[in-house]
């Protein structure tokens, strides 16, 4: 009986092991099936995510293109405004330079009006004026002495008066500024 019991225990153990192994195998199969389904679900999610990423990339690329077009238009507008500003600035600069040149020209012209001749000519005219003044003084003395003598004798006054008028006219002409 011990052998039968031992055989029964061995048989039951084998059945138990076979059942456990079968259950474990079924459990592994179920788990593998679940893992496969999970992998399929993950692949579907990855595909959906990849599609969304592609759609996002297309959308992003379109937005970038639109932004680049707007930036190009803005850059062109800014360049046009800058060019217009530089043109206005150049025109103002030319106008201001023209006013400055006209002012300097006027100052030079007025300065020339104040001194229409060179210093050398001015010194020469002063020397002539001095010599004419001396001649006029001599003539005045001569006239005075002749007048005294004329009272004693009557020389021709007409001739002396004419010389005096000629000298006065010459002095007046020299004193007048040259134009």
Least confident of 8-17, 30-39, 43-52, 108-117: 108-117
Polymer length in residues for the chain: 179
Which residues have a Cβ under 8 Å from the Cβ of 171 and sit 6 or more positions away?
Answer: 129, 132, 133, 136
**Of the segments 11-20, 22-31, 78-87, 147-156, which one has the largest average pLDDT value?**
78-87
Mean of the pLDDT values across residues 154-167? 75
Residue 155 has pLDDT above 60, yes or no: no
Give the residue extent of every domain in the chain: 1-114, 117-179
pLDDT band at 142 (very low <50, low <70, confident <90, very high): confident
pLDDT band at 90 (very low <50, low <70, confident <90, very high): very high
DSSP 79: H
**Mean pLDDT of the chain, nearest integer:** 83
Q: Name the residue with tokens 């459990």.
A: 27
């Amino acid at each position: 009986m011990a052998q039968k019991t031992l055989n029964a225990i061995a048989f039951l153990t084998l059945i138990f092991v076979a059942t456990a192994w079968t259950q474990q195998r079924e459990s592994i199969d179920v788990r593998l099936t679940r893992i496969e389904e999970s992998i399929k679900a993950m692949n579907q999610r990855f595909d959906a995510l990849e599609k969304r990423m592609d759609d996002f990339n297309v959308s992003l690329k379109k937005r970038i293109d639109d932004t680049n077009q707007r930036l190009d238009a803005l850059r062109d507008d800014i360049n046009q405004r800058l060019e217009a500003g530089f043109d206005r600035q150049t025109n103002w600069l030319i106008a201001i330079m023209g006013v400055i040149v006209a002012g300097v020209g006027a100052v030079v012209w007025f300065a020339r009006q104040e001194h229409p001749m060179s210093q050398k000519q001015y010194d020469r005219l002063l020397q002539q004026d001095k010599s004419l003044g001396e001649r006029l003084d001599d003539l005045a003395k001569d006239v005075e002495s002749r007048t005294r003598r004329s009272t004693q004798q009557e020389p021709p006054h007409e001739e002396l008066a004419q010389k005096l008028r000629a000298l006065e006219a010459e002095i007046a002409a020299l004193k007048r500024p040259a134009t």
